Amino acid sequence: MTEVIKVGMADWKIARSGDLLKTTGLGSCVGLTLYDCAERIAGMAHIMLPSSEIAREENFNRAKYADTALPDMLEAMIAAGASRRRLVAKLAGGAQMFAFAGQDTMRIGPRNVETCKLMLEKLDIPLAAEDTGANYGRTIELDSATGILTIRSIQNGTKEL
């Protein structure tokens, strides 16, 4: 029986055996997924912010930031049997949800996407597909049996990557 594993905001999880990873409410946040097709191990992180350098507390939530969530999830996937050589990434989200007249205020969504891409490049993980940017929210679901990332949005319906 397929289980749907919910990934909360500032959270990451891994799945296998055909289970589904799902996260909702991706506005400026980024859904970063990794997949090993041979072992059918999937990972999904719901990243809120680009860099942990802004964390004020000493023991911060590492899943909240692109620069710490990705290495932690990668380590857990390798421990579960995934091969770093076979991993491919997909991204969704990173929208610019609010526009203010004459300002490009903070650009959290685009900065989240940029940082995720830089981290993937640094870790030598290819980016296979993305559905990022624009100004609308997304819900995503990753199938650990197939690696298909399903993206749903009210404005644009459903698509698969």
Asked if 51 and 66 count as a contact pair (C-beta separation under 8 A), the reply is yes
With a cut of 90, say whether residue 139 has pLDDT above it: yes
User: pLDDT tens for residues 94-127?
Assistant: 998 766 545 555 788 999 999 999 999 999 999 9
The CATH number assigned to the domain holding 129 equals 3.30.1330.200
Q: What pLDDT was estimated at residue 104?
A: 53
Q: What pLDDT was estimated at residue 57?
A: 82
User: pLDDT tens for residues 49-106?
Assistant: 999 988 888 889 999 999 999 999 999 999 999 999 999 999 999 998 766 545 555 7
Q: What pLDDT was estimated at residue 32?
A: 98
How many independent structural domains does the chain possess? Answer: 1
CB atoms within 10 A of CB 4: 10
DSSP per-residue codes, 80-96? TT--GGG-EEEEEE---
* Domain with 112 in it: 4-160
